[in-house]
Structure formats: structure tokens, C-alpha cells
Amino acid sequence: MKKLQLILPVALVLLASSCKKNNAVTIPELVATKKHFASDSSSFTINGKNYSFSHNASTTRGAGNRGTNMKLSTKDGDWSISNGHDYWVGAVDSVQFYKFYENYLDNANGSITFSFIKNYKRTSLDKNGLLYAPKLVTEVITLGDKNYALDFEREGKDEGIAINLYLNGQTLTSYSPLLIRIPSSLGTESQRDSKFKVLKIEEVKDTDFIRIEAVFEGNLFDKNEKPVKITDGFVRLTVLKYGGLFRS
């Protein structure tokens, strides 16, 4: 049996904003050695300038849960979002699972995060501590085109991919950055002619990891939902093959 040797004990990070997210959790994978991640890289062009990440920088990787189909309620619930009086609560029998990878950029003060997202019935997932997770990450990361999840960190209905770019002091996201209580203007046309396509998924020999390659382009939105085009995107990531942080 292959043993996972690159993952240290995990730490719990509670996410917070001016809208309190009670139980949205992210579990980071803390990596002991980077030798298997030497080929990880990403690059893209924005505002006419190319940016890149390589193994000389670093990657934060982990998994998390959020609510799905969030609706306004007077009662609290799992993975709820609250402004102190009312709550946005997800479907009681469902949960959103996501795997994320944050690459720190070589030639700028910033990072780019890719989140792969899928919604599940709770009963179809394994429970790893606080985390509901599928057995294999290839249930979430599959070959082919991925939709951009426009309501990530909001209503939680959409599945697919989400990108968060922090660059030169500004945050841009492929989804609405607005708090859930503020109506969003984004819709199906907001990512028209955009793409995120996984080209390759292969096992890393004698490890518990797979390597993926993808190309992407699309719109990223500033704090006012003004679009900025990102093009010529490429990412190569080494990914733990299990949905959770270890073999279940």
C-alpha cells in the first residue's frame, strides 16, 4: 500500500468577512517537501503584461466546504452566512466541496488561486474530521471544459472553477466579489467566450498525487464587478489524488 508522506497535520482556518461565515471551513494541506511539485507552474496575461509562477515560488493547497443553494432565513444553519440579524442558509441535505490551489507569483506582489467546485448530497461524501469530501479528487477535477462558478462564496448553486487573483494590491475574481446581501449584476453573459479546459490528468509515479494541466481565459471582476480580461492562461498543478487530505 502506498503511504502518503508529503502531508503534515492540518490546521483549521475559519473564514470571515463583514458578513460572518459561521461554519465555512478551509483545511490547508501543509507540505513537508516540494520535490514532487518541481514542475508546477502557471502563467497568464492581464492588461498587456505577462505574469508567471514556478516552483521557485510556492503553492498553498487545501479543501473546504460551504453551503449550497443559500437562501435568506431567520434561523441559523450549517455553513450559514450572517450579517448579525438574518442568515443565508444552504440546503440541509447538501454541501459544496472545493479543492483550492494558491500560486504565489514570481514577478509581482501577488498570487492566483484556482478553486475546483462541486455540490453533493452529504450522504454521498466521507466525513474527514470537519470536512465532507469525496473519495477521489478526480470526481471534482475532470478532463474537459469547466464552467465558471459565478456565485462562489455567495449562493453556492454553481459548480466548476473559480479564480481569485491578487495583484499589486488589487483583488480580481472570476465570480462576484459582492457580499451575498448585495444583488449581483453578473449573469450567463458575464463569462461569454471564456474558457477553462483541463487538458491532462496523469498519475505521479509512486506517490499519492496526480498532475493536471489546464488552459484558461475569461473575465475577472473588481470590487464593483467591472470586468478585466485575463488571457493566455496556463496552469500545471500537482494534486493530492484523494478528495480529503488523506486516504479515507
For 151-190, what is each residue's pLDDT tens digit?
Answer: 999 999 999 999 999 998 999 999 999 999 899 999 989 9
Helix or strand or coil: residue 139? helix
Instruction: Yes or no: say if 217 and 229 are a contact pair by the CB < 8 Å rule.
Output: yes
Check residue 19 and give its pLDDT.
44
Q: What span, in angstroms and rounded, lies between the C-alpha atoms of 209 and 203?
A: 6
* Reduced DSSP (H G I as helix, E B as strand, rest coil) percent helix, strand, coil of the chain, to 5: 5, 50, 45
- Region 17-23: mean pLDDT is 42
pLDDT tens for residues 117-157? 999 999 999 998 889 999 999 999 999 999 999 999 999 99
Confidence grade of residue 223 (pLDDT, cut at 50, 70, 90): very high
Q: Is the pLDDT of residue 48 over 90?
A: yes
Looking at every residue in the chain, the average pLDDT score rounds to 84
Q: What span, in angstroms and rounded, lies between the C-alpha atoms of 19 and 151?
A: 15
DSSP label at residue 128 = E
Q: What span, in angstroms and rounded, lies between the C-alpha atoms of 87 and 70?
A: 9
Domain limits of the chain? 34-70+93-240
Instruction: Yes or no: say if 95 and 74 are a contact pair by the CB < 8 Å rule.
Output: no
Q: DSSP labels for 6-23?
A: SBPPP--EE---SSEESS
* CB-neighbour burial class of residue 93 (10 A; exposed 0-12, middle 13-18, buried 19+): exposed
Q: Please report, rounded to a whole number, the percentage of residues in the chain having pLDDT higher than 90.
A: 61
Helix or strand or coil: residue 148? strand
pLDDT tens for residues 71-108? 998 888 888 888 777 899 999 999 999 999 998 887 66
Q: What span, in angstroms and rounded, lies between the C-alpha atoms of 76 and 83?
A: 11
